[in-house]
Structure 1
């Protein structure tokens, strides 16, 4: 029988441990190398801008100025709530927009998802039709709807035809009482297909056995929806509501393309006001303060919304 020397028996585990550490180290460096491009982009376009915005919001920095920025403390925040009526108008417009768009877009998306979830001939074509506006550039959509909203545009022509000439027509985007509503309609139409797909994916995760059991118990379609479908869609509902809310509060492109905040600031939003102050009027410090207020507001709304819609127990 061959006896292994004690020194060789002791060196073998050490050699294995060194080999394991070497392989582990190479895997770690390989993983870090693959993470590096995304990490650098996140630092450049997310972390650094957030830090700069937070820092500049407490200064009087201007985009182009020979004078260095000066620390002004909370003056920018006080100015926003006390000396800038346009900011208050933009906050109100943003609130109204989100208040209408969030429930209507979520409800309409759910309705469309329920309709296209049926096994009917041609249902795939309807899914594509409803989703086409989502993949179309919002800038292109806004330009097209801007022409449609003109006084001699397609919408007024259709209404004139349906009312047999009794409708005189409205210049939708140049009327303070209709401009925001017109943008709301466009925004709901453009994004409802995306949320329809999200609701549809949630519907298709609900087991068919639950519906069969409900039908065996004599449940009506409405009872099936309230007792089977809606409870099964709770996680999807949370995601849909949070995403719609964040997108609604960040309204910018439609306003920038269609109205430029007018008429009489009736369509100005918080994001549009911040961009206009920062780039058009070059008050980058004040614009950073508005952006910080917007960030805190969106964070609070998302947290409250998440708490209200979370699972009980």
Structure 2
């Protein structure tokens, strides 16, 4: 290829990339840089006022804030309550639908349907289902009689967080199932046939073949679902608004609360910086544990 043609192809490639790079710069990179600067400054509500540099004052405030550590613990509890069931459930569903049966495509579509539902619609629907006069309590009242005391799924500090977790599980299982299904369909049937000759059948064949070959996919699903769980906001905002008694207040909701309720913009940016570092560490897990066997 001549140098002139190479320059022409390079210019064409940059021409296609430039609109996306400009959009990413305006919507992601520049706001992220501004948030980083504001983490070490004191920002007022008047945008015309210059930022006042305060050094590490916001970070010291963060480290002395008991609510920050509480919401961080709640966030990791949310992560631990969502990620293992998503990995196990999505993998089980993928194995279930990885069959050549009549109507299997419709079954796969039905399992994927929750992914297409807006999180706003899902949260409002589940809020009605969980209500004291909602669907679940209505069924239990009909089953157990009028003496049944309705369960406060979203008003009990013990039940609110698991109830919100269930919405995330319901909405995400189909998405991660598709990722596992793509991995399963890349495994040659000859491997299962060879394993059958060695006496590996049923669950044993999945332990011997499926799990080892799907290790990169399992790592991928675990990491991206953990990142999504760490950044959960819509479900909490629409269903509980961090309550009751702050039992469902997560890191992202705390950022929102500090920025838009308390108007502590700089402190909210500092919490956002801590959240960024947590997500960055979770992203590094993808490369540390997947290694050369990871997906590219």
Answer yes or no: same fold by TM over 0.5. Answer: yes
Partner of 2:241: 260
Tell me what 2:155 maps to.
174
Deviations 1:133-169 (CA, angstroms, capped at 9, x unpaired)? 1011111100111111110100112233444556421
Please say if 1:59 is aligned against 2:41: yes
- Do 1:148 and 1:154's aligned partners in 2 also have CA atoms closer than 8 Å? yes
| Cα distance in 1 for residues equivalent to 2:145 and 2:99 | 38
Q: 1:120 to 1:23 in 2, by over 3 A?
A: closer
The CA distance in 1 between the partners of 2:142 and 2:213, in whole Å, is 44
2:111 aligned counterpart, secondary structure: helix
How far apart in 2 are the matches of 1:112 and 1:163? Answer: 33
What corresponds to 1:39 in structure 2? 21
Q: For each residue in 1:162-207, what CA deviation from the matched residue of structure 2 results, as whole angstroms up to 9, or x when unmatched? A: 4455642112112212111110111111111101111111111000
Paired residues, what number? 293
Runs of 4+ displaced beyond 6 Å:
none
CA distance in 2, matches of 1:161, 1:310: 54
The answer for unaligned runs of 5 or more in structure 2 is none
Structure-2 residue corresponding to 1:225: 206
Task: Tell me the distance in 2 between the aligned counterparts of 1:162 and 1:64.
Answer: 58
Which whole-Å CA distance do the structure 1 matches of 2:8 and 2:121 have between them? 48
Q: What pairs with 1:188-203 in structure 2 (closer than 5 Å)? A: 188-203=169-184
Residue segments in structure 1 that go unaligned for 5+ positions in a row: 1-16
SS, match of residue 299 in structure 1: helix
CA distance, structure 2, for counterparts of residue 118 and residue 159 of structure 1:
37
- TM-score of the pair, normalised by structure 2: 0.93
1:281 aligned to 2:262?
yes
Over 3 Å counting, the alpha-carbon distance change for 1:31 and 1:301 in structure 2 is closer
Question: Can you list the C-alpha shifts for 1:234-272, whole angstroms capped at 9, x where unaligned?
Answer: 111111111101100000010111111111111111011
Counterpart selection for 2:123 from 142, 147, 152? 142
Deviates more, 1:141-150 or 1:169-178: 169-178
2:11 corresponds in structure 1 to 29
The CA RMSD over aligned residues, in Å, is: 1.9
Deviates more, 1:283-292 or 1:297-306: 297-306
